[in-house]
């Protein structure tokens, strides 16, 4: 009887904690996205890998409730030419101040992970996107498919509510 009560209590506790879990999202892109010019472009994300409450519509991320959110984008940058890639966040079509990051790609054989992250106070329905630009065409976000290993996505995006 005591064991049964303990099992029921633990199960109820786990279900209650799951019911009150903070909204989260992990999305990614399995599509290479190279610049054609130096103008900023919105990063597309064709895969929603895990979610609870936060939605992803091909790179447009919508939050379900007011709060402070941790946002992180990690891009695999490279291309077929040398140049540099910048990666930053936008909320409701406005660039987020002090969110830009940059990585130099010295030659086409080189790739690197470029991370952009931060905290943002968002309102229900706010839309977050990741943007990138390049100093030259044919440099940007690249996908790699190593034999016998998982795909290296062009970008992995994570978001979760912290309050």
Q: pLDDT tens-digit profile of 74-133?
A: 999 999 999 999 999 999 999 999 999 999 999 999 999 999 999 999 999 999 999 999
pTM: predicted TM-score of the whole model, two decimal places: 0.86
Degrees to nearest 5, angle at CA 70 with 43 and 93: 40
Binned at pLDDT 50, 70 and 90, residue 32 comes out as very high
The pLDDT tens digits of the residues spanning 72-89 come to 999 999 999 999 999 999
- According to the model, what pLDDT value does residue 163 have? 80
CATH topology of domain 23-161: Jelly Rolls (2.60.120)
Ranges of each domain in the chain: 23-161
- pLDDT mean over 54-77: 98
- According to the model, what pLDDT value does residue 87 have? 98
Please check the confidence at residue 148 and state whether its pLDDT lies above 80: yes
Cβ-contact 75, 152 below 8 angstroms: no
- According to the model, what pLDDT value does residue 79 have? 96
The pLDDT tens digits of the residues spanning 4-27 come to 545 554 544 444 444 558 999 999
Query: Who's near 35: CB < 8 A, 6+ residues apart?
Result: 41, 79, 83, 85, 132, 133, 134, 136, 137, 138, 139, 140
Please check the confidence at residue 34 and state whether its pLDDT lies above 80: yes
């Amino acid at each position: 009887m005591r064991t049964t009560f303990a099992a029921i209590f633990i199960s109820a506790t786990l279900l209650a904690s799951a019911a009150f879990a903070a909204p989260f999202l992990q999305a990614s892109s399995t599509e290479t996205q190279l610049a054609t010019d130096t103008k900023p472009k919105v990063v597309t994300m064709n895969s929603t890998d895990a979610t609870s409450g936060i939605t992803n519509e091909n790179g447009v991320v919508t939050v379900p409730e007011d709060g402070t959110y941790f946002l992180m984008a990690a891009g695999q940058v490279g291309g077929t030419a040398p140049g540099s890639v910048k990666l930053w966040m936008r909320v409701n079509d406005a660039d987020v101040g002090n969110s830009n990051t940059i990585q130099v790609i010295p030659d086409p054989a080189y790739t690197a992970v470029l991370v952009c992250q931060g905290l943002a106070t968002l309102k229900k329905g706010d839309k977050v996107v990741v943007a990138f630009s390049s100093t030259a065409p044919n440099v940007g976000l690249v996908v790699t498919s190593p034999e016998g290993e998982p795909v290296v996505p062009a970008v992995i995006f994570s978001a979760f509510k912290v309050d």
